[in-house]
Amino acid sequence: MDRTSSILKIFTRKLFSFILLYGCYLISHGHLSPGGGFQGGVVFGSAIILLGLVEGVKLTEKRFREDSLSLTKNVGMLVFIFLGFVGIFLGYYFLSDFLPRGEVGTVPSAGLILLLNLTIGFMVGTGIAVIFYRIVRHKA
């Protein structure tokens, strides 16, 4: 798309940070209201895809570089496995719930669920953005 209308560009630039914030809210409040790691991660990835469709992939690549996104996806998978092994180091089983509970209804109240939600959210979000970059920038 060479000539996008200016209404689309202005609205997307203003709305982009709110969509990212909404994605982070869905990820972190996954155990109190509908949402969770996968849902918030897809919203997070969709914000980057929207910016890439309106502004052009070259400009979006300068801000959200493909190497950093790919590194976040790989490190996220390793962090998931590492969180499982911490349970073995402390004497319980693999992926056990070793953190103490807080009071019911607040954010840090559910043990390992919050950390796993954050890891999964970032992994899925950056994974979807990397798939989008690869498919769009492919030359025959």
Partner 1 sequence: MSRIYAATLLLILAFFLFSAVKLDYGQLRGGVSEYYIARGVAETGALNMVTAIYLNYRVYDTLGEATVFFASALGVFMLLRKNTGPAGRQEEGESDG
Partner 2 sequence: MINGVSIGIIVVLIGIYGILTKRNLIKMVMALYIMNSGVILLFISIGYVAGGEAAIFESGKKLMVDPLPQAVMLTSLVIGLGITALALALVIKIYDEYGTLNASRILEDK
What residues line the site for partner 2 (CB under 8 A)? 33-34, 36, 38, 124, 131, 134-135, 138, 140
Binding residue for partner 1, selected from 55, 73, 122, 125, defined by CB under 8 A: 73
Angstrom distance (rounded) from CA 69 to CA 60: 12
For residue 90, state whether it binds partner 1 (rule: CB under 8 A). no
Rounded least distance, CB 52 to partner 2, Å: 16
Rounded least distance, CB 101 to partner 2, Å: 15
For residue 109, state whether it binds partner 1 (rule: CB under 8 A). yes
Angstrom distance (rounded) from CA 81 to CA 74: 11
| Coil/strand/helix, residue 20 | helix
Angstrom distance (rounded) from CA 3 to CA 115: 43
